[in-house]
Amino acid sequence: MQILELELHNFRSYELATIRFEPGVNVLVGPNGVGKTNVVEAVGYVSTLGSHRVAADLPLIRKDCDQAILRATASRGQRNVGLEIAINPGRANRLQVSGSPVRSTDFVSQLQTVIFAPEDLALVKGDPSDRRRFLDEVLVARAPRYHSVKSDYDRVVRQRTTLLRSIAGARGATARAGAESTLAVWDDQLVTHGAALLFGRLSLLNEIDGLVATAYEQVAPGKSASIAYLPRSFADLGEHSTLPRDRNELEELLRKEIEIRRSEEFARGVTVVGPHRDDVLLTIGDLPAKAYASHGECWSMALSLRLASFELMRGLDDIPGDPVLILDDVFAELDTTRRAALSQVAMGAEQTIITAAVIEDIPTELQAQQFFITPGQVDRG
């Protein structure tokens, strides 16, 4: 899989730019602040409909503009696909594949990418939401149908939480009874969509755990690492508890937990049950990485998570070739061992896009097509 051409219209710092990428390694070179990361962010957005830097779409729009447009041509095996996104903050984005409007689930199945960036240190040291986001992004890339599962689940949590707040502030028994009756409908949806998301996450972890261990050994020889699921939304389950791998059993667990914690939810006015409360445990040796890992070990773990997701996706039958590997300004942060390990993966990928402040940051063994970035402009070397 490759991205052959990318057009940016009023995206971030670019009024208009067209970049034609090559197979193999492509390097975007330029000082900090000129727009290198904006380019790879655009590639990632075309792949996932989200940014690896910000949660909202508004910062993606060029100043004094009300819309940005991204167009890309992706090569999928023996055919090329045209992708277009009109980014409309506050309104639904317009998505097209080869000129035809499509739903988000159909769009995110067209181009797979794996991005490794300095922000990935948050996967180790950051909040549980950072680790959940990583898991869900890989899950959607592996099985695009989970894009709608995650969207439906997030919608249910928002609506249910709003209702719980109204119950907490309700005056009179009649008003409270009516709101509680409506809550039963949202309970059912939370159970259905929550169990589906949990099932997907657990299935993914079962596949990726061994790949994380292998990748960590590659970047930090002689050391071990693992990844496990922490079901924090279940009050009676400990850190090392194992959840069932059956959706019906997961639904039953969620339904029981809702009943057990009903009074807590009423008192707090917030949804406390469901996979939006869970975490991922990253372990180096026998110790949790978040609490005990050094800076270098955090880099190793973050890199291992991305390499593991890359290996997972390149082995899937329904993905034609490798995902596009994107390395955003990371080589300068790595020591010799980690640089060598990442270089081997980059050279073996079908297509890799790298950003660097200076060309000296790129290992000499990487033979690459170079692009030089100046504010608002991309020039081929």
Contact 369, 24 (CB under 8 A): yes
Q: Which residues contact 70 (CB under 8 A, 6 or more apart)?
A: 6, 7, 8, 9, 11, 42, 45, 46, 83, 84, 85, 87
Q: What is the pLDDT of residue 317?
A: 67
| CATH of residue 252 | 1.20.1050.90
Q: Indicate if the pLDDT at residue 353 is higher than 90.
A: yes
Structural domain count of the chain: 2
Least confident range from 179-188, 255-264, 312-321, 356-365: namely: 312-321
Q: How far is CA 134 from the centre of its chain?
A: 4
Q: Is residue 210 part of a domain?
A: yes
| Last residue of one domain, picked from the residues 296, 318, 340 | 318
pTM of the model: 0.89
Based on the domain organization, do 217 and 349 belong to the same domain?
no
Averaged confidence pLDDT in the chain: 90
> Which whole number is the average pLDDT over 210-231?
92
| CATH of residue 362 | 3.40.50.300
| Last residue of one domain, picked from the residues 318, 336, 366 | 318
Based on the domain organization, do 246 and 133 belong to the same domain?
yes
3-state secondary structure of 247: helix
Task: Using the structure block, give the residue that is written with the tokens 């970047």.
Answer: 219
Based on the domain organization, do 133 and 255 belong to the same domain?
yes
Residues pairing with 96 in the sheet: 84, 101
Contact 75, 2 (CB under 8 A): yes
Based on the domain organization, do 104 and 132 belong to the same domain?
no
Least confident range from 107-121, 136-150, 318-332: namely: 318-332
Query: How many CA atoms, within 13 angstroms, populate the side-chain half-sphere of residue 267?
Result: 4
Q: Indicate if the pLDDT at residue 105 is higher than 90.
A: no
Distances (CA, A) of 379 to 17, 27, 373: 10, 12, 6
Position 338: which residue type?
R
Q: Is residue 305 part of a domain?
A: yes
Tens-digit pLDDT profile for residues 121-157: 999 999 999 999 999 999 998 888 999 999 999 999 9
Based on the domain organization, do 297 and 342 belong to the same domain?
no
Provide the sign of the torsion angle of the four alpha carbons 150, 154, 160, 164, taken in this order.
positive
Based on the domain organization, do 307 and 341 belong to the same domain?
no
Distances (CA, A) of 171 to 15, 167, 175, 263, 271: 54, 9, 7, 17, 21
Q: Is residue 380 part of a domain?
A: yes
| Last residue of one domain, picked from the residues 291, 318, 345 | 318
> Which whole number is the average pLDDT over 276-297?
94
Question: How close are the terminal C-alpha atoms of the chain, in Å?
Answer: 23
Contact 312, 211 (CB under 8 A): yes
Based on the domain organization, do 211 and 287 belong to the same domain?
yes
Residue 282 tokens read as 């990253």
Based on the domain organization, do 140 and 103 belong to the same domain?
no
Q: Is residue 323 part of a domain?
A: no
Residue 124 tokens read as 């180790």
Based on the domain organization, do 351 and 264 belong to the same domain?
no
Least confident range from 239-243, 310-314, 365-369: namely: 239-243
- The range of the structural domain enclosing residue 201 comes to 120-318
Q: In which band, very low, low, confident or very high, does the pLDDT at 339 lie, cut at 50, 70 and 90? A: confident
Based on the domain organization, do 164 and 261 belong to the same domain?
yes
Based on the domain organization, do 55 and 38 belong to the same domain?
yes
Concatenated DSSP letters of 288-306: EHHHH--HHHHHHHHHHHH
Residue among 363, 340, 370 nearest 27 (CA): 370
Q: In which band, very low, low, confident or very high, does the pLDDT at 258 lie, cut at 50, 70 and 90? A: very high
Tens-digit pLDDT profile for residues 38-92: 999 999 999 999 898 888 889 999 999 999 999 999 998 788 999 999 999 888 8
348 CB neighbour count, 10 Å cutoff: 11
Residues pairing with 153 in the sheet: none
Q: Is residue 271 part of a domain?
A: yes
Based on the domain organization, do 335 and 285 belong to the same domain?
no
Q: What is the pLDDT of residue 169?
A: 66
Q: What is the pLDDT of residue 206?
A: 93
